[in-house]
Structure 1
Amino acid sequence: MGTVHGSSVLLIMSKRRKGGTSGPQVKLAKCDQTQPQLPLPLRDGETTEKLQDAWSRSLDVETSCVTLQAKPFRHCIIKNYLSEEFIAKLETDLSELSFNTKSNDLYSFKQTNDLKTADSPSIGAFASLLKEKMKDWLVEVTGIPLNDEVAITSSIYEHTDTLLCHDDELEERRIAFILYITPPSWTMADGGTLDLFSSSEGRIKPENVVKSLLPTRNSLVFFEVTASSFHQVAEVLATDKRRLSMGGWFHGPPLARPAQSPEPKVPLKPWTDGYFDMVEDWVNPLYFDDEVLARIQQDFEDNSEILLEDFLKEDKVQTITTALQAKDLKWTQTGPFNKRHYEQVDSTSMSELVQQVAKMFQSEAMFLLLGRLTGLTLQSEDDGEEESHGTPKCWGEVRRWRHGYYTLMHDEDPHNNDFSLDSMFYLNSLDWKSEYGGYVSYIAKGEDEELLTVVPKDNALALVYRDSDTLRFVKYINTRATDRQTSGNQDGSFFEVYNAYYE
């Protein structure tokens, strides 16, 4: 951590003589170090013109103080933005503020309230610098007509904290900025980098991280906020350091946002005929007992969810887990990063056993069993009935989850358009802890309160009935999960057979 120094005010003592009489001693302030200035290179007209030209033509340029780059979107790094003395003062004053814990599908970190009215000379001085001098400089360099609105907060990211892929577009945000107050010893191994994503023209979807900026102490990063300014704060891996920063947005007239192409509907299909023998051979006999079924159905009707432990016979669990760990089984990553990031099995590489298990969960026999377990109408109505529900359908995936994987909540998510029964069957998740992430969280649309959390449990089937106003996400799996190693699994991953059933 930096050494804290007090404000340096030089007091000059002078004597005034008038008529041979010694006058009063007067204290004169040579300079006020509490008022920060823009770095000298930013006050140099030649440097500003060079940056202005590069910005307007989307070119790269580098000076001793400033690095401006155009790809994957225009961003700028200013080194040694303030004096170390002032940075140390900010660090001290920020440590006396209250930071609120913030955690949802997108992020996990601590943050202050808006600092516009913070009762701290150093914070107030920094805010004034942004509003009175930095804003005008940015307008000159970028040509963006900024107004007087500047939002500013301070954030702390500690071990496993992260902010996942997003574009920052909201209201009238035009330029985002971050001032880093991290320890001087911060390295790439500590994580917490500002990752920038490439995106396809016309698609406005993040593709891959193409640049990772180290949060170097006393550097200020800013970038233009657009529909393609996808970025994230990578997970902090350091256990003994805090990633402290101040950041926010300069505002201006909003840009017209390009129309978003809706994601294609997930294709639904009717059940696969048969599989009665396989279901009977694989599923724990307990779940065919009439009394047990009656109790489960009542619990489900009361709560709209249930966890069925030891769902498959133990020898079958070992068989399918081994098949999913096979080295020749291929996995495909899903996306885009601003909505989801995990792996699903490549159907072309599935062994016959994996194929049969996937089909079993989408079979007529499984539909009928789930209907008895939940009381839902998961079987076809007679053709002659006027109030026919039609043929029940489903869709599903065999997934692999490990460090760095997640899904985010989105109102336009096609998986959330209808009433459905979510079915999550977990494998290789022995001793999984919620502190790793990887749990499923259900949230009512428009609210922050969590309705239900489903933590992966080995050989357990979780069933949740939800409506169109209930959103779900899988919490980011953090680095703690890599400490969990099971037989034949060195990366701490687990498997999920996920299916959504529709009446």
Structure 2
Amino acid sequence: MTAAQGAPTAKRARTDAAGGGEAAPLRLAAGYLDDAFTTRFHAAFTGASGDSAVDLEPAADGRGGEITAKPFPVGRLRGVFPAAFLRGLKAELEGMAWHERSNDLYWFHQTNDLVLEGQRHVKQLRDYMAGEEFVGFMERVTGVQLARGRLDMAAQRYKRGNHLLCHDDDVQQGEMTRRIAYIIYLVDDGWSAEDGGALGLFATDGDGYPTRVVARIVPEFNSMGFFLTGQASFHTVEEVTVADEAVERWSVTGWFYGPVAQQDAGCPAAAALAPLPRSLVLPPMDELGPADAEGDAREWARWIGADYLKPAVQSRIQDAFLEQSSVELRDFLQPAVAAAVQAELQATTWTTSHAPAHVRMHLEASPSDGTTLGELCRFLRSASFGRLLEQLTTLAVASASQQLRRFERGHYTLINDQALEPDGLDATLSLVAPNVDWDDAWGGATHYIADKDELLRIHPTANSLSLVLRDEGTLRFVKHVSCAAMAARQDIAMVFQEAD
């Protein structure tokens, strides 16, 4: 299922105009509307029958229905519409205006809302799917009451590297809420699991938060998937990895709506999710201690590149920071320190972040005492380093949070309203390997945004410290690392709080 077809803002109810010209009426393939099929499918979808699959009897031309029961029910119908119609639809869509959509959650290309525009094939599809026959069919097979005259529809093209990360489609709009998400696949014949783009379904923990993908549905031409949206329906469109860049994952997706307060049979319980653990927002370290000029000089000379200790250089850095609220310091660590840290990172034991998948997905580590890496981490959250930051930025800092991170292919961080970082001075020491020339196509950059506008993008660079003053309304995320990435992103990420 796709993201919020732009943004999850309220949309007015729409009644589609009748029509379709002289074209033959569009209908579901023979057999799907039969009472015998809808009864069996409903029993399997709601778990009443215990069946894991429901096939038409007899199945014809590859048609049939199936259920993926866990981690939450997802139905799929094969051969759902005439193949010639869908090929005509795809050709018609190809001539429409497409827009690239990219943020922390997704990257793909999409049409405008197809409920508002489109030619003959688009009009036929939306009129039929919004009509009584199809809406009634969806109600019968899922057991969910749906609103009439309300349908969202858009088309997507996922090129190689495109993706949609973990989310649940749970969006309310006034007295209506999304009830059923649907996906009509328009991929080329022969699309395989190796091409990527599968619909990945997340298991959830005891608090209802997503953990990992435990089931996948591979796109298949002329098949339609659907599921109930809500706080248990966490899913993803996995990165498209098809070898041929000319081949794309095409689909038409959207939602059916129903009343917010509905408690129909077949709907999962909509109990409120537990608050996110406070540990997701890293707690501050101990307050930075008193000044020690002689000790500072020794510490700085041990760790920091000599140029950054020169007053003239510090003055230029300060001017740049005051003008731009950010600065990037290349070759920040002493060469010997940087080399020792790189060697120790090779032997570091990494564990998966404990955060839910709709907040972040990466590895983290606690450096061992007595190692260069461990001592460096301690220095970077010390009073001595805080005083160096004051000389570089004019900001008097009092405390800091810190995390040692590693981002491999498929890793990311997302902006989540329940896990927003405190405002402050971001200090991120990039520890990618020195022989890596990071490519923007790999993802993995840190993006700073405000009101959906990108303010700054920082790419991983070996032995580079970025300083960014992030005030209220400015958010950051690490973009999904693509399967094309030839290296891992490693860093020490810190947020410093100013003194009261």
- Assess same fold via TM > 0.5: yes
State the AA in 2 paired with 1:232: T
Contact 1:342–1:400 (Cα < 8 Å) also in 2 = yes
Distance 1:166 1:131, change over 3 A: same
Give the length in aligned residue pairs: 443
Deviation of the 1:266 alpha carbon: 2.6
State the AA in 1 paired with 2:85: F
Distance 1:220 1:305, change over 3 A: same
1:244 to 250, 275, 283: 250
State the AA in 2 paired with 1:502: Q
1:285 matched residue in structure 2: 306
1:344 to 364, 378, 387: 364
Q: Does 1:52 align with 2:42?
A: yes
2:226 aligns to what SS in structure 1? strand
Contact 2:208–2:273 (Cα < 8 Å) also in 1 = no
1:496 to 479, 491, 496: 491
2:259 aligns to what SS in structure 1? coil
Distance 1:353 1:271, change over 3 A: farther
Contact 1:34–1:122 (Cα < 8 Å) also in 2 = no
Deviation of the 1:71 alpha carbon: 1.3
Distance 1:399 1:56, change over 3 A: closer
Higher Cα radius of gyration? 1
State the AA in 2 paired with 1:166: H
Give the distance between the partners of 1:180 and 1:34, measured in 2 at CA: 22
2:196 matched residue in structure 1: 191
Q: Does 1:216 align with 2:206?
A: no
Give the distance between the partners of 2:337 and 2:190, measured in 1 at CA: 51
| CA RMSD across the alignment | 1.9
TM-score normalized by the length of structure 2: 0.85
Deviation of the 1:145 alpha carbon: 1.2
Contact 1:411–1:471 (Cα < 8 Å) also in 2 = no
Deviation of the 1:36 alpha carbon: 2.1
Contact 1:34–1:125 (Cα < 8 Å) also in 2 = no
Give the distance between the partners of 1:436 and 1:351, measured in 2 at CA: 34
2:284 to 252, 265, 268: 268
TM-score normalized by the length of structure 1: 0.84
2:331 matched residue in structure 1: 310
Give the distance between the partners of 1:253 and 1:346, measured in 2 at CA: 48
| Residues 244-293 of structure 1: CA deviation (Å, up to 9, x unaligned) | 11110001112566154143153212257687434321211111111111
Deviation of the 1:334 alpha carbon: 4.0
Give the distance between the partners of 1:161 and 1:350, measured in 2 at CA: 41
2:385 to 358, 363, 366: 366
Distance 1:346 1:364, change over 3 A: closer
1:175 to 158, 161, 180: 180
Give the distance between the partners of 1:405 and 1:185, measured in 2 at CA: 28
Deviation of the 1:451 alpha carbon: 1.3
Deviation of the 1:323 alpha carbon: 0.5
Give the distance between the partners of 1:271 and 1:432, measured in 2 at CA: 35
Q: Does 1:400 align with 2:400?
A: no
Give the distance between the partners of 1:353 and 1:317, measured in 2 at CA: 9
Contact 2:359–2:416 (Cα < 8 Å) also in 1 = yes
Where do 1:132-171 residues align within 5 Å?
Answer: 132=131, 133-148=133-148, 149-171=150-172
2:418 aligns to what SS in structure 1? coil
1:426 matched residue in structure 2: 430
Where do 1:370-389 residues align within 5 Å?
Answer: 370-378=389-397
1:175 aligns to what SS in structure 2? strand
Contact 1:279–1:360 (Cα < 8 Å) also in 2 = no
1:357 matched residue in structure 2: 376
Give the distance between the partners of 1:187 and 1:480, measured in 2 at CA: 19
Give the distance between the partners of 1:312 and 1:284, measured in 2 at CA: 5
1:62 to 54, 60, 65: 54
Give the distance between the partners of 1:69 and 1:493, measured in 2 at CA: 34
Deviation of the 1:345 alpha carbon: 0.9
State the AA in 2 paired with 1:248: G
Deviation of the 1:96 alpha carbon: 1.1
| Residues 381-407 of structure 1: CA deviation (Å, up to 9, x unaligned) | xxxxxxxxxxx1111011112211111
| Residues 348-378 of structure 1: CA deviation (Å, up to 9, x unaligned) | x666222111111111211111111110012
User: Which aligned segments of 4 or more residues in structure 1 are displaced greater than 4 angstroms?
Assistant: 271-275
1:355 aligns to what SS in structure 2? helix
For structure 2, list consecutive stretches of 5 or more residues without a partner in the other structure: 1-21, 57-63, 262-269
1:217 aligns to what SS in structure 2? coil
2:475 aligns to what SS in structure 1? strand
Give the distance between the partners of 1:114 and 1:494, measured in 2 at CA: 37
Distance 1:426 1:393, change over 3 A: same
